[in-house]
C-alpha cells in the first residue's frame, strides 16, 4: 500500500498515466517552488483533514506499532510560556524541538498528546497590564480612589487572553502541532485549586513556612524575587556605575594601650552601598586575618592626618594615598582579638535607650566587632560594614550575635521617617547627600561630638556587574522581607539523588549547571506582594493575643469554613472571605487572608498535576503519566522551570517530574548580542515565514549547535542557506523524478491524451517502488542495478542512524546525517544514474520512488511541511505524519558495497579537487587516474563509473602497499587542546614529533611510546583536536597530481594534455553550449532538435570529428557545422523537431 513504511511494494510497470504529483489533479510539480505558498496549502489541508488529531487517535487503544509491540504513550510536558507578548525566536526554537520529538515519537507508534499551556499570572502579566493602563507606580492601584485590585486584575485577564489568540496564529504557522482546544491556563479555577492543594500539602509536611529573610527585592514592582530568578539569564546582571566609600568609625575605647593619651582609633570600613550606612549595626573581621593600628603623619594631606586607624595589614598599600607610603605601625592584632570591640555608630537614628533595650532592634549587642569567615583582604579594608536588613550574610551574622534588624526603607525603596534627614528620599538618590554629609560632617554627623564623628576617608566611583529585575529592568536591592518559603534545604539531598534518574541533553548539565545548583539550593521564597496570581491560602488572626493560622487546599475546605460558594480564587474576591477566630473566646478577632500571592514559578512548577486538576480529578491518569517522558527549554530554565518542577515533584511525590530533558542554548542577534526588540538585531519572524517558510527556519535552528546547548547567531543569510542547501535539493530530486517519470512511458507530450482525459499526453511511469522484502533484488548477480542497491543500502543506514540519533535526542546529528545523505542522493546517485532515467529504466524509477518515500518519512519530524508535500505527491496517501517509522529488512543493507562505493566517491571528489587546483575544467578529458587502495578488488568494479565522473580515459586501481609510492605523514600539535596533565610535557612531545617517535593507532589516536605520564605512554585521542596529521605522496613526475583520502588511499591524476584530448574537451564545451540554448528555448527533456553550429575556423576539424558525440548528448536529429574565419567563440542555434520524441525514435 502506498504510504506505508515497510517497503512492501512492487517494481512492476503500471499501465496508464502517472500524474505526479498524485495529490494535485492536473498540476505539474513546479521547478521553482514558493515554499511559503506550498506551506500555507499544507497547513490548510491539515486543518481540513484534521491530520493532527488523527495522528494522536491512530495511536490509541490496543493498536501495535511497527515492531509489533503494544502502543505506549509518550508523555510530553509543554512548558507554559508567559502570555504577555508575541513569540520570539527562543519560543520558536523550543517549539520546533517539542514538535520534532512529538512527531518522531508518534512515528514510533506512541500516542503523544500535546496539550498547550499558558502561564498567565505574575509579574510578566501585571507589568504588561500596567503598561497598557499607563501605571508606573503600584500605589496607583491600591491607594484610596485608585484603580483598585479588581479592575487591575480584570485588565490583566484581558491582556493575557488577547495574547493567547495571537500565539495560536504563530504556533500554527510554524507547523507545530499542539492541542489548543484542550489547553490549560494557570488562571483556570481548577488549575489554581491544584496549586493551593500543593501549598497546603507542603505546609502539612513542614516544608512551607513563613520567615524573615533578606531577598532580592524590586522596589519598583514592590515585591521580592527568588534567588533562582537572578541566575536564569546572563542579562539579569548588567553594568552599573556606583559610589564606594571608605569610612572611619570611632572606637569607644582605645585598643592600643601603649599610647593611652591618644584618641581611640578609627576602624576603617568600606562599602559599595553608602545608603546602607544609616542601618549599620556591626562590623565584621576575619578571625585569622592580621590587623594593624597605624599612625598617619599629621603633615599628610589626608582626612585622617594625625589619626590612628585600624585595618588589615595586607591592605595598607591600597591606602597609601590616605595613610602614607610607610605609616608607623603601633600595634598588631589577630581578627579574633578584636571581637567584642565596640564603636560609636556613625548615625544616631537608632542609638538611644529604646533601640538599645533588650529585645529591641538593633538591641544592646549592636555596634560591636564580630567575627565572620567570609571576610577577606581581596578588596576594601578587611573590616566589613554590616547592615542586617540589606545583606543576607549580614543578617545571619548579626542574628548569631543577638543583633536585631532595623529596616528604615519602605516598599518603594525610600527612607522612612526613622531616618529623618533622608526620609522620603529614594535610596539610590540618597547616596549623594549621605556622602556629602560624611565629607562635610554635616546633617546627622553634626549631631555627634567632634571626637566621636565618623570620617569619610575615601570616595570613588566604579562600574560593576549588578543585578536588575528580570521584568522591569530596574536595579534590585537586597532587603529583609517577610515571606513564605519552601524549605528546599530539607529535601536538597533527595533532589540531588533524584536528579541522577534524569537523562539530560547535553549530558554535562546533570552534574554541572543543574547538579551544582541543586547542591547549593536554598529555601525558595514563594510569596509576592502583588495582585494577579494564585493566592497564598493562609488566613491568620488579626489579633496577636489570639494567634491562629489556617491553611486551605481546596474549594470544599473554603466553603466549609466560610459558608459561601467559592468560584474564583483571585484577589480581591478571595480576600473578602473572613470569619470569626475560633480560638478567640471574646469573639472580637477575625481570620483574614494574608495579602500575598504565589510566585508564578510555583504555579508553572505545578503544571504536571495542576493541568489535570489533580488530586480532585484524574488521579489514575496522573499516576500513570508522571514522571513525564520529555521536556525541553533553554539552558536558563535549569534555574527556572526545570528547577521548580524538580522541587515540587520531590517535595510532593518523592520522584522526578520528568525523565528526559533537553536544555538548548541561547539565540543571539546578527550582531552577536542577545536578541533585543529595541535593537532589532534579528530578522522579523513573520518576514522569514513569508519569504523562506517555516521549514527553513525550523531546519536552520534544529541543525545548529544551539540544540546541543551552544549559542547561535541568527541571520537572514543563514536561514536562506537552509533553503539552498536542504529544501531545494530535496525538491529538485522530487521534480527530477516527476519530470522523468512523465517522460518514461507515454506517447509524446504534444499530440496525445492520457487515459484520464488530461491533454498533453502526460503518460509516463506509475510506480509504488521497490519490494524491499524481496531478497533476490539485493544480490550482486541478477539483482538490482549496483547503483540502486547502493542507494537503498545507504537509505537503510539513513533510517537506522537517524532513528538512533532521534532516540538519543541528537536532533542536530539527525539533521547532519540527512544532509549528508541528500548529498549522496543528489550529487552521486542521480548524477551517475541520469542516463538510466533518460532511457526510461523502470528499476531506477522504482528505486528513486522508494528512496524519496523513505527520505520524506525520515525528514517528516524535521521538515514536516516540505516532507508532507513531497510524500503526498509521490504516494497519493493521506499524510506522511500518519506513517510509522520505516523498518527496512537487513538484506537491503550492504556494508561492503557501501564502503567500496563511498571510497569511489571519495576518489572522485579528490580527483575533481585536483582538477580545480590544476585549472582543468571537468569537461576536459584526461588520460588516466590511478587509485591506490588497501582493497583494490572492492573498488575495481567501479572503474568505469569513476572514469565517467572524473572524465578520464582510464582508471587504474592498485594495491597501496605495493604501488611503489612513498607516503609521508606529518604531525602538528595543538598545545591549547592538551589536558593540563599532558600540557606540562609539551616540549617533550614536540621533540618526539620532530624525531618521528610517534604512531597512529587503529582508532586514529596518536601514541608516544617514549613520552610517559605516570609510567604510561601518552596517547592523544583524535576527538580532542590536540593534533592533526597531514599525509603526502611523493611523486617524481610533474604531470601527476596527488591527493590523499581519509581512508588512507590516495589518487594520482595525469594532467598532461595532447591534441586528441583537447579536441574532445572542445566537443564537451559545445555540448554545454547547446544544452544552455535548449534551456533558453524552453525545451523539454524528450524534445528533439535540429542544430546549427558556427565555430572558429581552427576548431572546425575538431568539431567534425566529434559531431556525433555532440548530437547524442543534446538530443539532436540533424546538425550542420560552419567554420567561420576570424571567429573566437562558437555559437549555436537550436530548432525543435515537431512530432518527435525519444520514445518515437526508439519505436520508429
Three-class DSSP labels, 27-40: CCCCCCCCHHHHHH
Give the integer Cα–Cα distance in Å for 509 and 643. 12
Over the range 695-707, which residues count as b (16 or more CB within 10 Å of their CB) and which as e?
bbbbbbbbbbebb
pLDDT band, very low/low/confident/very high, at 422 (cuts 50, 70, 90): very high
pLDDT at residue 676, rounded to an integer: 65
Spatial contact of 833 and 844, defined as CB atoms under 8 Å apart: yes
Q: Of residues 107, 611, 637, 743, which has the active-site annotation?
A: 637
Q: Of residues 219, 270, 367, 641, which has the active-site annotation?
A: 641
Cite the DSSP H helix spans in 580-675. 600-605, 607-610, 619-624, 641-653
Give the CA angle between residues 811, 816, 822 to the nearest 5°.
125
Q: Going from the N-terminus, what domains does the chain have, and what CATH number goes with each?
A: 190-232+475-585+601-657 (3.40.50.620), 240-467 (3.90.740.10), 709-893 (1.10.730.10), 915-1054 (no CATH), 1059-1147 (3.30.2320)
pLDDT band, very low/low/confident/very high, at 16 (cuts 50, 70, 90): very low
User: Which stretch of 199-208, 405-414, 810-819, 960-969 has the lowest confidence by average pLDDT?
Assistant: 960-969
Above 90 in pLDDT, residue 974? Answer: no
pLDDT band, very low/low/confident/very high, at 679 (cuts 50, 70, 90): low
Cis peptide before 204 (omega within 30 of 0): no
Give me the mean pLDDT over the 595-617 stretch.
97
pLDDT, tens digit, 9 for 90 and up, residues 63-73: 344 455 555 89
Neighbours of 792 (CB within 10 A): 27
Give me the mean pLDDT over the 391-413 stretch.
94
Above 50 in pLDDT, residue 966? Answer: yes
pLDDT at residue 897, rounded to an integer: 96
Give the CA angle between residues 479, 482, 483 to the nearest 5°.
105
Whose CA is closest to 472, among 640, 644, 222?
222
Q: Of residues 532, 601, 699, 871, which has the active-site annotation?
A: 601
Q: Of residues 119, 221, 523, 599, which has the active-site annotation?
A: 119
Above 70 in pLDDT, residue 1145? Answer: no
Spatial contact of 908 and 1051, defined as CB atoms under 8 Å apart: no
pLDDT at residue 745, rounded to an integer: 58
Give me the mean pLDDT over the 810-838 stretch.
96
Give the integer Cα–Cα distance in Å for 19 and 21. 6
Active site residue 641: yes
Query: How many residues are there in the chain?
Result: 1148
User: Which stretch of 460-474, 676-690, 938-952, 1052-1066 has the lowest confidence by average pLDDT?
Assistant: 676-690
pLDDT, tens digit, 9 for 90 and up, residues 849-907: 999 999 999 999 999 999 999 999 999 999 999 999 999 999 999 999 999 999 999 99
Cite the DSSP H helix spans in 340-426. 353-356, 392-400
Three-class DSSP category at 456: strand
Give the integer Cα–Cα distance in Å for 369 and 267. 10
Alpha carbon 242 to its chain's center: 34
Above 70 in pLDDT, residue 763? Answer: no
> How high is the mean pLDDT of the chain?
90
Phi then psi for residue 956, to 5 deg, are -110, 135
pLDDT, tens digit, 9 for 90 and up, residues 1096-1108: 999 999 999 999 9
Whose CA is closest to 1115, among 1123, 1144, 790, 734?
1144
Sign, Cα dihedral of 1035, 1039, 1043, 1048: negative
Active site residue 1087: no
Q: Of residues 674, 943, 1111, 1136, which has the active-site annotation?
A: 674
Above 70 in pLDDT, residue 12? Answer: no
Whose CA is closest to 284, among 372, 178, 400?
372
Give the integer Cα–Cα distance in Å for 303 and 319. 12
pLDDT, tens digit, 9 for 90 and up, residues 980-1015: 778 888 889 999 888 888 888 887 888 998 898 888
Sign, Cα dihedral of 899, 905, 911, 917: negative
Neighbours of 736 (CB within 10 A): 19
Neighbours of 821 (CB within 10 A): 22
Above 70 in pLDDT, residue 1? Answer: no
Alpha carbon 161 to its chain's center: 28
Give the integer Cα–Cα distance in Å for 638 and 191. 24
pLDDT band, very low/low/confident/very high, at 1140 (cuts 50, 70, 90): low
Q: Of residues 21, 80, 388, 861, which has the active-site annotation?
A: 80
Give the CA angle between residues 419, 420, 424 to the nearest 5°.
85
Spatial contact of 414 and 422, defined as CB atoms under 8 Å apart: no
Three-class DSSP category at 675: coil
Active site residue 33: no
Active site residue 601: yes
Give the integer Cα–Cα distance in Å for 196 and 202. 10
Give the integer Cα–Cα distance in Å for 697 and 693. 7
Q: Give the CA diameter of the chain.
A: 129
pLDDT at residue 957, rounded to an integer: 94
Spatial contact of 25 and 872, defined as CB atoms under 8 Å apart: no
Q: What is the dihedral of CA 195, 199, 201, 206, to 10 degrees?
A: 160
Q: Of residues 144, 181, 451, 677, which has the active-site annotation?
A: 677
Above 60 in pLDDT, residue 445? Answer: yes
Three-class DSSP category at 882: helix
Give the integer Cα–Cα distance in Å for 88 and 102. 21
Q: What is the DSSP-derived secondary structure letter of residue 530?
A: -
Spatial contact of 655 and 627, defined as CB atoms under 8 Å apart: yes
Active site residue 637: yes
Give the CA angle between residues 46, 49, 53 to the nearest 5°.
80
Whose CA is closest to 505, among 654, 668, 625, 630?
630
Q: Which residues pair with 1073 in a beta bridge?
A: none
Give me the mean pLDDT over the 458-483 stretch.
88
Cis peptide before 332 (omega within 30 of 0): no
Amino acid at each position: 500500500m502506498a504510504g506505508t513504511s515497510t517497503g512492501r511494494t512492487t517494481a512492476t510497470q503500471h499501465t496508464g498515466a502517472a500524474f505526479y504529483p498524485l495529490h494535485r489533479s492536473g498540476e505539474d510539480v513546479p521547478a521553482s517552488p514558493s515554499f511559503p505558498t506550498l506551506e500555507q496549502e499544507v497547513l490548510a489541508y491539515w486543518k481540513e483533514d484534521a491530520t493532527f488529531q488523527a495522528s494522536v487517535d491512530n495511536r490509541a487503544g490496543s493498536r501495535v506499532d511497527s515492531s509489533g509491540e503494544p502502543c505506549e504513550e509518550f508523555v510530553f510536558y509543554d512548558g507554559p510560556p508567559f502570555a504577555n507578548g508575541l513569540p520570539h525566536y527562543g519560543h520558536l526554537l523550543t517549539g520546533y524541538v517539542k514538535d520534532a520529538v512529538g512527531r518522531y515519537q508518534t512515528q514510533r507508534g506512541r500516542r503523544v498528546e500535546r496539550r498547550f499551556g499558558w502561564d498567565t499570572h505574575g509579574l510578566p502579566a501585571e507589568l504588561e497590564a500596567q503598561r497598557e493602563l499607563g501605571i508606573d507606580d503600584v500605589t496607583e492601584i491600591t491607594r484610596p480612589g485608585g484603580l483598585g485590585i479588581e479592575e487591575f486584575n480584570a485588565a490583566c485577564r484581558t491582556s493575557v487572553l488577547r495574547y493567547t489568540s495571537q500565539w495560536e496564529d504563530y504556533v500554527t504557522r510554524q507547523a507545530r502541532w499542539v492541542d489548543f482546544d484542550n489547553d490549560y491556563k494557570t488562571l483556570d479555577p481548577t488549575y489554581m485549586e491544584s496549586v493551593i492543594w500543593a501549598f497546603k500539602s507542603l505546609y502539612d509536611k513542614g516544608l512551607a513556612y513563613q520567615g524573615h529573610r533578606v531577598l532580592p527585592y524590586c522596589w519598583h514592582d514592590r515585591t521580592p524575587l527568588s534567588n533562582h530568578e537572578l541566575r536564569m539569564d546572563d542579562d539579569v546582571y548588567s553594568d552599573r556605575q556606583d559610589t564606594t566609600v571608605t569610612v572611619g568609625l570611632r572606637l569607644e575605647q582605645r585598643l592600643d594601650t601603649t599610647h593611652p593619651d591618644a584618641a581611640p582609633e578609627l576602624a576603617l570600613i568600606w562599602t559599595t552601598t553608602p545608603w546602607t550606612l544609616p542601618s549599620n549595626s556591626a562590623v565584621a573581621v576575619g578571625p585569622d586575618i592580621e590587623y594593624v593600628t597605624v599612625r598617619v603623619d599629621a603633615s599628610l594631606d589626608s582626612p585622617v592626618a594625625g589619626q590612628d586607624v585600624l585595618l588589615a595589614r595586607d591592605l595598607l598599600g591600597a591606602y597609601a594615598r590616605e595613610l602614607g607610603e610607610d605609616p608607623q605601625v603601633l600595634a598588631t592584632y589577630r581578627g579574633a582579638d578584636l571581637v567584642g570591640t565596640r564603636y560609636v555608630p556613625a548615625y544616631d537614628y537608632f542609638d538611644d535607650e529604646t533601640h538599645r533595650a533588650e529585645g529591641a532592634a538593633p538591641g544592646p549587642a549592636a555596634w560591636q566587632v564580630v567575627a565572620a569567615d567570609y571576610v577577606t583582604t581581596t578588596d576594601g579594608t578587611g573590616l566589613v560594614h554590616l547592615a542586617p536588613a540589606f545583606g543576607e550574610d549580614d543578617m545571619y551574622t548579626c542574628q548569631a550575635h543577638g543583633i536585631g534588624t532595623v529596616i528604615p526603607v519602605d516598599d518603594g525603596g525610600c527612607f522612612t521617617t526613622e531616618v529623618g534627614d533622608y526620609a522620603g528620599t529614594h535610596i539610590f538618590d540618597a547616596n549623594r547627600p549621605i556622602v556629602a554629609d560624611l565629607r562635610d560632617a554635616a546633617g546627622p554627623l553634626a549631631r555627634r561630638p567632634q571626637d566621636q564623628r565618623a570620617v569619610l576617608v575615601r570616595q570613588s566611583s566604579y562600574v560593576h556587574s549588578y543585578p536588575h529585575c528580570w521584568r522591569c529592568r530596574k536595579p534590585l536591592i537586597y532587603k529583609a522581607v517577610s515571606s513564605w518559603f519552601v524549605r528546599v534545604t530539607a529535601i536538597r539531598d533527595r533532589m540531588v539523588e533524584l536528579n541522577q534518574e534524569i537523562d539530560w541533553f547535553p549530558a554535562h548539565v546533570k552534574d554541572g549547571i543543574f547538579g551544582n545548583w541543586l547542591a547549593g539550593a536554598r529555601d525558595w521564597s514563594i510569596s509576592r506582594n502583588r495582585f494577579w496570581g494564585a493566592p497564598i491560602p493562609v488566613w491568620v488572626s488579626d489579633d496577636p493575643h489570639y494567634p491562629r493560622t489556617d491553611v486551605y487546599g481546596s474549594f470544599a475546605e473554603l466553603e466549609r469554613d466560610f459558608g459561601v460558594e467559592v468560584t474564583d480564587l483571585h484577589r480581591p474576591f478571595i480576600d473578602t472571605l473572613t470569619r470569626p477566630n475560633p480560638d478567640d473566646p471574646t469573639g472580637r478577632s477575625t481570620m483574614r487572608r494574608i495579602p500575598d500571592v504565589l510566585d508564578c514559578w510555583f504555579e508553572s512548577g505545578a503544571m504536571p498535576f495542576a493541568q489535570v486538576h489533580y488530586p480532585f480529578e484524574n488521579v489514575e491518569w496522573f499516576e500513570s503519566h508522571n514522571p513525564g517522558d520529555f521536556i525541553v527549554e533553554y539552558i536558563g530554565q535549569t534555574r527556572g522551570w526545570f528547577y521548580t518542577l524538580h522541587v515540587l515533584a520531590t517535595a510532593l511525590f518523592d520522584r522526578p517530574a520528568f525523565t528526559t530533558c533537553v536544555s538548548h542554548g541561547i539565540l543571539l542577534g546578527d550582531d552577536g548580542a542577545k536578541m533585543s526588540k529595541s535593537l532589532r538585531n534579528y530578522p522579523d519572524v513573520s518576514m522569514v515565514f513569508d519569504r523562506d517558510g517555516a521549514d527553513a527556519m525550523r531546519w536552520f535552528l534544529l541543525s545548529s549547535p544551539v540544540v546541543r546547548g551552544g549559542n547561535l547567531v541568527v541571520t537572514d543569510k543563514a536561514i536562506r542557506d537552509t533553503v539552498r542547501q536542504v529544501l531545494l535539493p530535496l525538491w529538485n530530486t522530487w521534480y527530477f523524478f516527476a519530470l522523468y517519470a512523465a517522460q518514461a512511458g507515454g506517447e509524446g507530450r504534444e499530440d496525445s491524451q492520457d487515459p484520464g482525459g488530461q491533454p498533453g499526453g502526460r503518460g509516463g511511469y506509475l510506480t509504488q517502488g521497490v519490494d524491499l522484502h524481496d531478497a533476490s533484488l539485493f544480490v550482486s548477480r541478477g539483482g538490482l542495478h549496483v547503483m540502486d542497491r547502493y542507494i537503498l543500502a545507504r537509505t537503510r543506514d539513513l533510517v537506522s542512524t537517524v532513528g538512533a540519533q532521534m532516540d538519543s535526542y541528537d536532533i542536530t546529528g539527525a539533521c547532519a546525517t540527512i544532509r549528508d545523505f541528500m548529498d549522496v542522493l543528489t550529487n552521486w546517485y542521480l548524477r551517475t544514474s541520469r542516463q538510466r532515467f533518460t532511457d526510461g529504466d523502470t528499476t531506477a524509477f522504482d528505486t528513486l520512488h522508494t528512496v524519496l518515500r523513505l527520505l520524506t518519512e525520515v525528514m517528516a519530524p524535521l521538515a514536516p511541511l516540505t516532507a508532507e508535500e513531497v510524500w503526498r505527491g509521490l504516494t497519493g496517501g493521506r499524510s506522511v505524519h500518519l506513517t510509522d517509522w520505516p523498518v527496512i529488512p537487513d538484506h537491503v543493507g550492504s556494508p561492503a558495497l557501501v564502503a567500496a562505493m563511498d571510497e569511489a566517491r571519495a576518489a572522485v571528489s579528490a580527483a575533481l579537487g585536483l582538477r580545480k587546483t590544476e585549472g582543468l575544467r571537468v569537461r576536459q578529458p584526461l588520460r588516466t587516474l590511478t587509485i591506490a587502495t588497501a582493497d583494490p578488488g572492492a573498488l575495481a568494479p567501479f572503474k568505469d563509473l569513476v572514469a565517467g565522473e572524473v572524465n578520464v580515459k582510464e582508471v587504474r586501481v592498485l594495491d597501496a602497499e605495493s604501488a611503489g609510492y612513498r607516503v609521508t605523514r606529518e604531525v602538528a600539535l595543538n598545545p591549547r587542546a592538551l589536558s593540563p596533565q599532558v600540557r606540562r610535557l609539551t616540549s617533550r612531545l614536540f621533540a618526539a614529533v620532530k624525531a618521528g617517535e610517534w604512531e597512529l593507532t587503529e582508532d586514529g589516536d596518536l601514541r608516544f611510546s617514549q613520552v610517559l605520564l605516570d609510567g604510561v605512554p601518552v596517547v592523544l585521542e583524535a576527538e580532542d583536536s590536540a593534533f592533526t596529521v597531514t599525509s603526502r605522496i611523493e611523486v617524481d613526475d610533474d604531470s601527476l597530481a596527488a591527493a590523499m583520502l581519509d581512508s588512507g588511499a590516495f589518487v594520482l591524476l595525469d594532467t598532461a594534455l595532447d591534441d586528441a584530448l583537447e579536441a574532445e574537451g572542445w566537443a564537451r564545451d559545445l555540448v554545454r553550449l547547446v544544452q544552455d540554448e535548449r534551456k533558453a528555448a524552453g525545451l523539454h527533456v524528450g524534445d528533439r532538435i535540429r542544430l546549427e553550429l558556427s565555430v572558429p575556423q581552427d576548431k572546425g576539424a575538431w568539431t567534425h570529428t566529434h559531431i556525433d558525440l555532440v548530437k547524442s548528448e543534446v538530443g539532436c536529429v540533424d546538425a550542420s557545422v560552419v567554420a567561420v574565419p576570424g571567429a573566437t567563440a562558437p555559437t549555436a542555434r537550436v530548432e525543435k523537431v515537431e512530432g518527435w520524441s525519444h520514445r518515437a525514435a526508439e519505436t520508429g
